[in-house]
Amino acid sequence: MELDVMKKKNRKFMLFWIALIGITGFFMVITKYDPIKSFTSIPKAIVWTLTNFYPNSNSIEKLPSILSKLKETIFLSIAATTTASAFALLFGLFGSKTTKINNLLGVLSRTIASIFRNIPIVAWAMILLFSFGQNALTGYFALFFVTFGFLTRAFIETIDEASYESVEALRATGATYFQIVFQGVIPSSIPQIISWVLFMTETNIRSSTLVGILTGTGVGFVFNIYYKSMDYNSASLVVISIILTVFAIEITSNYIRRVIL
């Protein structure tokens, strides 16, 4: 009996792998994917990177202008994240089961958040380009919308997880809605809330580089110009400075997380 169960399980496992390999093969044929060529081109890519994609003395001279653009990108993403998180907190409170005011508002805020979250940031940037043109405001709104959608979702779960029991106790003492929020919900969930905001700031620095290429602002724009004018040395310096910035932000936010938790 038990042996049968094991055999059945093994057969299922086999079927799963056969199916997986079948699907992979099928789509490789459709997309004309050549695995041998893709593997052999890896060394070529590495060689190209090593011979072209490094900063030289010429590109170092451009560092001040890169850094000033990088600063613009960082500030833009911080501004978008902080303002979006304020709105997300409000919608998170409405959307959470623990702190909902009524069901209608709950469903509404979850739906809005879901729509904003599920439209990719590049799509947002392209849509907003029509209304705001090529400037920082477009990038700001694109980042704002996606961050708002994502953080609302994250905050709803944080609030539900962290504060159900204390909310119940405060309700029983006769506390009003906003007293419960400020005395119970926020103190219980503030570490996770800050953690999510820091995470989004990191993510947005990366995303705003990408958005910058489209909107013609910030460090993404600079990268695009160098890259298209085949100044790969300067382009590599941009990439390196972005990587270092993201590292620095990550280290800082890890430190902050350790202190507040």
Contact residues for other proteins, defined by CB under 8 A: 163, 165-166, 168-176, 178-179, 182-184, 187-188, 190-191
Q: Distances in Å between the alpha carbon of 36 and those of 22, 46, 97? A: 18, 17, 53
Taking the complex as a whole, the smallest distance from the CB of residue 185 to other proteins amounts, in Å, to 9
Closer CB to other proteins, 31 or 103, in the complex? 103
> If DSSP codes are grouped into helix, strand and coil, which group holds residue 195?
helix
Taking the complex as a whole, the smallest distance from the CB of residue 256 to other proteins amounts, in Å, to 16
H or E element at residue 225: helix 218-228
Taking the complex as a whole, the smallest distance from the CB of residue 183 to other proteins amounts, in Å, to 6
Closer CB to other proteins, 70 or 162, in the complex? 162
Taking the complex as a whole, the smallest distance from the CB of residue 164 to other proteins amounts, in Å, to 9
Closer CB to other proteins, 105 or 175, in the complex? 175
Closer CB to other proteins, 166 or 224, in the complex? 166
Rounded CA-CA distance 244/248 in Å is: 6
Cβ proximity of 211 and 220 under 8 Å: yes
Cβ proximity of 160 and 225 under 8 Å: no
Taking the complex as a whole, the smallest distance from the CB of residue 83 to other proteins amounts, in Å, to 22
Q: Is 63 exposed, middle or buried (0-12, 13-18, 19+ CB in 10 A)?
A: middle
Cβ proximity of 94 and 109 under 8 Å: yes
Closer CB to other proteins, 35 or 174, in the complex? 174
